[in-house]
Amino acid sequence: MSRRFTPKVVTANDLIEGDVVYLSSNDVWVRELHRAELIDDEAHADLRLLHAQGQPGIVVGAYLADAKAGPNGPEPVHFRETFRATGPSNYAHGKQEVSPHRA
């Protein structure tokens, strides 16, 4: 029996800014984890990852990260993904900065 598939999101870093990005269901790269597409199906996850890896001009290092459903959308499972989703704990930099120009 193969291991049960746990839900995933496709995540990567933006090529220019390096910021953490997630693939949404309508093929847009978003900066917030809760707007990402939560993928329940393994075959679909593989396809979505291939789609992400086919965009080297936009993102770097795409991979599938474990996530779980929350009231506002996907939430991290592992603390590493929590830090990626929220930014560093010593300064309000990165995702904690108010940046109206960002999607």
Partner 1 sequence: MYTYTEFDDAFVRERVAQFRGQVERRIDGSLTEDEFRPLRLMNGLYLQLHAYMLRVAIPYGTLNGAQMRQLAYIAERWDRGYGHFTTRQNIQYNWPKLSDVPDMLSALADVGMHAIQTSGNTIRNVTADHFAGAAADEIEDPRPVAELLRQWSTDHPEFQFLPRKFKIAITGSPNDRAVTRAHDIGLRMVRNDAGEPGFEVIVGGGLGRTPMIGKTVRDFLPKADLLPYVEAILSVYNTLGRRDNKYKARIKITVHETGIEAIREMVEARFAELRPEFTGADQEVLAGIEAQFAAPEWAKVSAAPFEAAYTNDPLFRSFADTNLAAHRNPDYAIVSVSLKAHGATPGDATADQMRTLADLAERYGHDELRISHEQNVILPHVPKGHLPAVHAALKAAGLATANIGLASDIIACPGMDYCALATARSIPIAQEIATRVDELKLEHDIGALKIKISGCINACGHHHVGHIGILGLDRAGVENYQITLGGDGTETASIGERAGPGFSADEIVPAIERLITGYLDLRNSPDETFLAAYRRLGAEPFKAILYPQEKEKARAA
Q: Which stretch binds partner 1 (CB under 8 A): 2-10, 34-42, 44-52, 57-65?
A: 57-65
Nearest distance, CB of residue 72 and partner 1, angstroms = 21
Shortest Å, Cβ 67 to partner 1: 14
Q: Decide: is 101 part of the binding site for partner 1 (CB under 8 A).
A: no
In this chain, which stretch among 3-11, 33-41, 42-50, 73-81 interacts with partner 1, using CB under 8 A? 73-81
Residue-wise DSSP of the chain: -PPPPPPEEEEEEETTT--EEEE-TTS-EES-GGGSPPB--HHHHHHHHHHHHT-TTTEEEEEEEEEEEETTEEEESSHHHHHHHH--SSSS-GGGS--TT--
* 103 lies in the binding site for partner 1 (CB under 8 A): no
